[in-house]
Amino acid sequence: MVNINPNGLLPKRIAVTGGAGFVGSHLCEALLARGHEVLCIDNFYTGARSNVQNLLTHPRFELMRHDITFPLYIEVDEIYNLACPASPVHYQFDPVQTLKTSVIGAINTLGLAKRLRVPILQASTSEVYGDPEVHPQTEDYWGNVNPIGPRSCYDEGKRCAETLFFDYHRQHQLAIKVVRIFNTYGPRMHPNDGRVVSNFIVQALRGEDITIFGDGSQTRSFCYVDDLVRGLIAMMESPREVVGPINIGNPSEFTIRQLAEMVIELIGGSSRIVQRPLPQDDPKQRQPDITQARDTLGWLPTIALREGLVRTISYFDTLLGTGAMPIPAPSA
């Protein structure tokens, strides 16, 4: 008798590269909950075994240590390619390796998908829009990216990966899916990854002043990780002709200063907001147009920023309170 998963679908064996990372570990959990087998692939550069510790005894979960800049020989039915450092602190620490992970990693995973004739999803990024001159950003906007700046190893690496995905689609008729992920936050973010949500929460929990860059008027849109994962799965399960790119993010826009004030309000304490110079090429505004995600995938975010921050603060409070703080990440 064929087993049917809880969603009425035949179970699949699914590979998630970067599966022990912040987003990847949540995706692995969600796929297991849908009745699939999950092969989690990670080299633990920014991912952590602790992120999937609760899955290690699951009968349908397998963990493989592997760097996708080297060829991969496995048998699966679908591939989610999430492998790449995603925060400035991490991707600028070894920019050459970051670029290799995006480009050579894409070549290797696309080659695997071509051999197996299986669908593959690329976790791209809103960073392909650079410091946008169009607001909000729609998928047909080509972006405003500095190709030789300190962020270009990530921005241009992801742009090149998108090129590879679409060329494999055109040349080899490969079933591809490309999603552009906007700012995402939630439990299992690395406390020292330099992202604004984790920075503010950790600083406030420690009673330190909260550091903003510039005057804090630059804007971001923050998507809770559970909403993002729903979007990734919806994209993978969409009809073959839906290839993207499709923006996945929360269109509710906040200034960095508003975020800092909300974190201070939720945590309390004596933290003040202090200003530092704005880093080079830091985008002044970022907001997704999610019309395609809504109309094509039936996807909308459901978790408001305040609710998501409460859950994320609880996670970091536990992490800091138990002495489980990971070793500090290398500085750029």
Q: Which residues are catalytic?
A: 154
Exposure string for 204-222, b = 16+ CB within 10 A, e = fewer: bbeeeebebeeebebbbbb
* Residue 229: closest CA among 20, 85, 25: 25
Tokens standing for residue 174:
């490969």
Contact between 176 and 119 under an 8 Å Cβ cutoff? The reply is yes
Looking at 47-195, list the stretches that DSSP marks H as alpha helix, in order from N- to C-terminal side: 88-91, 95-116, 152-172
* Residue 177: closest CA among 186, 169, 185: 169
Q: Which residues contact 308 (CB under 8 A, 6 or more apart)?
A: 185, 186, 222, 224
- Count the neighbouring beta carbons within 10 Å of the beta carbon of residue 42: 27
